[in-house]
Structures are given as structure tokens and as C-alpha cells.
Chain A
């Protein structure tokens, strides 16, 4: 219902790209997100709202995820055509038999942090020893474990605490170092009142450990496609390029118009507060832009690091995420390359080297 109302601005975009429209029937495409509608996925909703999908001859249904829906499984089961998911989680699924391919690595950087209170004395991964370290689990924990093993620590050296969807346990002091995405949970803390000051928590009240700096960052949001169909279905190959073109344009739009993109996401049915939504869109932009090679192109070194961490890092039961190298079909940059080339010919900046993020001020409760 909400999505239907979004197409009002359709055609607002002038360049039209190389898409095949002209009254032909639209190709139905189902995209599975990995969580609820929120700024993290602003580019896809912007592509929908700005009519970029329609320009490419696509009728895209963006499907939210819930607590128990695994995007790559939905894709492998043929429920959807494309899925957004973190690379390490999907590597695990591929080893279990899911036949899916990374066709665009949208996030270049990891958004995972471990945050602690400034007075906690936890300022580095080495300080995790003997402390209560939070994680959501469900495949979100591998960067923590990889960081531990880099420091010569194991899971036995910390007290691993399972985090909920909120930051209450951290705020109450039950967790010394909590897992937080730059674009979500970190902001949740900054939207809360610090009882010591009566004001909102400030960045200086917190120690932030960034896994990109620690060196255990793994690749996150990527677009996954059905390997089998990529190999045998010519229409799907064409759809994939068209879909990626629209997605790139969506993310470029989010880069250039973060405020509008945040509003689009809210109109698409997100109940996040306005300042939280904008913060999330802005932080997500930072994970994408500037893009070293052009948005969606995988950095081989980052891929190799993700794979080797996935093979070496042991979890609390002593097992690793994967045991062998993933197959060659695990990623295929052919389609995103084609999409990038075509858009660059049209004069679109797909690297965003001049990207300057906003300074978003969070309101209490994110409202």
C-alpha cells in the first residue's frame, strides 16, 4: 500500500539511462532486504521512488525481512530474485549449499563498532579480556571473534553477552563493550539521556572501536543473485544489469540528497524518528562513498581478507564459518561493471570522490 504511493514522482529523473521502456510490460523483480525498512537501504527505496527501476523496465517489490528470515535462503529457495546480505553470513550459506553470487558489493566499508563508556577502561580489543562483550549473534559476531584472535585472545577470555535490539543492557552497564552499527545502535546511545549530565550522551562519553581500523572488518551489504539463473537465464542477466543500473542511480541520489532519501524511506513505511533516519542514511553513505573503484565493485583485497577471516576465525564452539575457499561463483563483477561503464558513459559520477557527509544532530529518542 505504502509502496504504491511512492511511484507518484515517477519520471522525475531525466536521463532515462539505457533502459528499455516504451510501454513494454515491466519485468517483475523481488528484492529481499536483510532487515526492516530503514535508511540503511535508502538507495533501493530512492531508486523506487525516483522511478529509476521503472525507467529500466522493472517493477521492483522491496521485501522487508524479519527476525527469522534469512535473505540468502529466501534467494536460494527462489522466493526472491535478489537479496541484500552481509558477505561472511552468505559465505557460510554457500558452503551449506546455497547457490548464490555476489553481483554488487554496495558497502565498501564495515559499519560495525564496539562501543564502551569512556570511563570503562575499554579502549582497544586487547581490553576485552575479562570484560562483558556484547554481540547480536546470528552471524554478526565474526568481526569480534576475528579481532580477538588477532590479539591472541579467544572467546574464552571474554564474557560474551547476547545483545537485544535495543541498547538498554549497555546503558544499564550490563555490557562493557557493546556491538553497534555506526548507522543505528551508536546513534541510539547518542539519543539517550546520560543520567550523570541530564543531557544526551555525547561522542566524548564513549570509546569507539572501529573494526575497519582494527583490521578485522568483513564485507557487509552486498547484492546477491541466483547463480544458476545468472548462468543459464539470459533474461535474468539483462535484468541484473538493468537492476544494478537503477540501484547505482538510487545510491547516487542518496549521496546527493540524503535528506530527501531519508524522507523517502520514512514514507516507505519506516517508523524511525526523523533525526535517526537521517543519521542512518548519512552514515550509510559514508560506508559507500567515496567509492574507490566505483560503487558495487568488489575490492579483491577486502574479499580475500573476508574469506581468510571466515576460514580462520573460531567462534565460541571452536568451529569456523567456512572450511574451504568459496567457489569462483561466489562473486561475479561482470554485471556491475557493465552497469558502471554504461552509467559513466552517460556522465554519472559513480565514485563520489567529492562526497561530503552531513553533520546530523540527533534528537532525544531519535525523533
Chain B
């Protein structure tokens, strides 16, 4: 309900740019930002405290009820102490001469994965927007394509990964041959385009008939209606979709790295370090922190995009 009302308000504003309503939310001042940073740090600390508290309260073997473990184990192998995990970050990856400290290795792996995820995200967004435009323009396309868009997300990655790699290996454009990282980016985009296609379509269709009718009465073309009314109205729907797409692209990248066996990224690192889960438990948690960081960076980048589009965001619940 409120969403619809919000969309109506947005549409109303966008349709008539001469009417200025509520000014955009003022950016947080220096004090506000400091407060937010403090809250962030407190959140991380609270998680660490919860972790340690759980380790203290729950016995090493977890809690079993009728033979089923309802609370997970808390042994140092299953849940290393937070300070051990942090300390491990500053030790070298292995004893080998010249080995990087773990945090550096994780950062570089996260950077590698972020790059691929970003490419996947861009491809996904472009494809998703194109599909949404197509479906908005031709209702035949909507009824013909939308089910396939939904269906596409039911294909399991385990089936998709070898296929993408196989198709890719047959491709050769001039001197550029297909690389494994491109397969990973394609899989990331495959997961990323879906929320964009669906979200953008909903956004483009969100203006009320009264507004589209108004533009029609002005004899506005499809393109004018799109630029003046539908695109601005779609922003509040699009931004959450872009955020979802970013999360999907990151997950797609990490999982596809494992699936395809691409070297250099966080996914592969999780797989590689799993083998030391018994002998060096804090080490195997390192790449998981990297994955968290990756997700934060991806979400943060999209939030920046939202700042750029602030003018159109008035109906959106700010996250």
C-alpha cells in the first residue's frame, strides 16, 4: 500500500518537474557520520562478544536433544577464539619463505573477486535493464520472456558452471581467447540480472494510469514518457534491485570460483584453506572475513550509486 502511494508521489513529482516538493534528505553531518562509524564498530564488537559468550555458555560438544544437535559445537576447532582469528591474520599464510601475511593474501583475493563480481554485476545490470525495457515496451515480450527469466534462476549452478566453461572454450574472437575468469563473470551476471530485470520492470510499470494518460494527452512519445516518467519512477524499485544484484554477483563469483576452479579469488581461498580447518582452524576463517568484506564493499558501492540518484529516491525506504 505505502509502496504504491510512494510510487505515486514519486511519479507525480517526476511527471511535473516544476513542482518541487520535499527537499532531498540532507546528507548526514560530520557528527552523524561519526556516530554511524561508531555504531558499525560497536556492531562488530557485539558480534565478537556474542561469539565468545556462546563459547563460554554452550559446552564443547554443543547441545543434543534426542540425538539431534540443536546447538553447534563450540570447541576451538569448530569455533576458534576471535582473538586467535585476528592474530592469525597477521601471521604469514604458510611457513614458506616470502609468504605474505594472511590479511594481505585475503585482501588481494578479495580484490580479485570484487573485480570479477563488478564485471558480472555490470553485465547483469545491462542485460536486466534491457530485458525490462523490452518487456515494458511490448506486453507480448513480457508474457513471453518473464517466465523464462524466472525459470532461468532455477538452473542449479552445478549444472551451469561446466556448461559455461565448455561453451566459452569454443569461443575465440581474434587473438582473445576465453579465459576461466570470464566464465565466472558470466555466471555472476547470470545471478545478477534477475533482480534487475524484475525490479526495473516493476519500476517502469509503477506510474499510475493518470500520469501516463497525462503524457499521452501531451502527445509524448514512448521515449519521452520513458525518460520523463517511467525511468525516474523506477529508481526506488531499481536501487534495491541493484543492491540485490550486487549481493548475487558476489555470491555467484565466489561459488563459481569454487565450481570452475579459478585461482586467485576468495572462493578458491575458502576451498584451499578448508584443508587446514583441523590443524590451523583460525586460518580457514580468514577467507570468510574476506567474503564478508567483499559483500560490504559491493553493497557500499551500490549505496554510492544511490547517493548519485538521490533526487529520484524520495519514495524509497532508505536502508
Contacts and interface: CB of A to CB of B under 8 A. Distances in A.
A78 B171 CA distance: 12
B260 interface: yes
Interface in B50-66: none
B96 interface: yes
Interface string B154-195: 000110011001100110000000001000000000000000
Given A66-B258, A69-B165, A274 B94 contact: yes
Interface string A152-184: 000000000000111110011000000000001
Interface stretch (A185-193, A291-299, A340-348): A185-193
B262 A166 contact: no
B93 A271 contact: yes
Interface string B82-114: 000000000001111000000001000000000
B276 A273 contact: yes
B272 A79 contact: no
A77 interface: yes
22 contacts: A36-B261, A63-B180, A66-B260, A66-B262, A69-B161, A70-B162, A79-B169, A165-B274, A167-B278, A168-B78, A171-B278, A172-B77, A193-B279, A195-B75, A263-B96, A266-B96, A271-B272, A272-B94, A365-B276, A365-B280, A366-B279, A367-B279
A191 B280 CA distance: 8
A361 to B, nearest CB: 12
Interface string B70-84: 000101011000000
A363 B162 CA distance: 36
A65 interface: yes
B289 interface: no
The list of the 6 closest CB pairs from A to B, nearest first, reads: A66-B261, A365-B280, A191-B279, A166-B277, A365-B279, A192-B278
Contacts of B161: 66, 68-69
Interface residues of B, number: 39
A188 B278 contact: yes
Nearest to A77: B166
A141 interface: no
B278 A166 contact: yes
A37 interface: yes
Given A74-B162, A367-B279, 12 more contacts: A67-B258, A67-B259, A74-B166, A77-B166, A77-B169, A165-B275, A166-B277, A168-B78, A168-B278, A271-B269, A272-B275, A364-B280
B271 interface: yes
Interface string B136-162: 000000000000000000000110011
A275 interface: yes
A269 interface: yes
Interface residues of A, number: 46
B276 A366 contact: yes
Contacts, number: 127
B275 A166 contact: yes
B271 A68 contact: no
B262 A168 contact: no
Contact of A365 (B105, B162, B283): B283
B296 to A, nearest CB: 24
A364 B276 CA distance: 9
A37 B263 contact: yes
A73 interface: yes
Contacts of B278: 166-168, 171, 188-189, 191-192
A283 B269 CA distance: 24
Nearest to A65: B261
B284 interface: yes
A67 B271 contact: yes
Contacts of B73: 172
Contacts of B162: 68-70, 73-74
Contacts of A164: 274
A13 interface: no
Interface in A264-290: 266, 269-276
A188 B284 CA distance: 13
Contacts of A272: 94, 272, 275
A367 B95 contact: yes
Nearest to B267: A66
Contacts of A266: 94, 96
B260 A69 contact: yes
